[in-house]
Amino acid sequence: MTITTRQAEGSVPVTILCLHGDLDASNYLDVIDAAREAYDAGARHILLDMSDVPFMSSSGLMALHSIALLMRGEETPDPEYGWSAFHTMSRDTEQGSVQTQVKLASVQPRVERALRMARFDQYFECYANQEEAVASF
């Protein structure tokens, strides 16, 4: 996976992480690290451009959830704890509130299905393209 970063301006500054390749166990920590670097540099709103992500595994879901927690200033779950990290994700999605610090753009059909199955489509706002997503912040 390749990750490129750029800045955009909505009503707030937005950091765009463009992900290129499958998002899975081989690279999900890299995605979290990229978001953590952005957070440490002052980012508080992140847009994940998923236009070049044809597949996302459960590890990818873990990455998305971790980034949302990070942007809220919370600790991310330790991936070494496996299922307990997934239970944390489940609790957040069951609360029914959409978080607003992390949004997704250009989600591909297979990834959209994974989001729907995990009920993350209710937790993350998804937009057709970067422009619409940036304007929504």
pTM of the full structure: 0.89
pLDDT per residue of the chain (137 residues) written in tens, 0 to 9: 999 999 999 899 999 999 999 999 999 999 999 999 999 999 999 999 999 999 999 999 999 999 999 999 988 877 666 555 555 655 565 665 677 899 999 999 999 999 999 888 888 999 999 999 999 99
- Helices and strands, number each (H, E), in the chain: 5, 5
Domain chopping of the chain, boundaries = 2-136
In what side-by-side order are the strands of the sheet with 125-127?
2-9, 13-20, 46-52, 102-105, 125-127
Is the domain 2-136 a CATH 3.30.750.24 member? yes
How many Cα atoms sit within 13 Å of 90 on the Cβ side? 7
pLDDT at 98: 75
pLDDT at 129: 98
Look at the chain and count its residues. Answer: 137
pLDDT at 88: 60
pLDDT at 118: 86
Two structure tokens written together for 106 = 């250009």
pLDDT at 97: 64
Beta bridge partners, 36, equal none
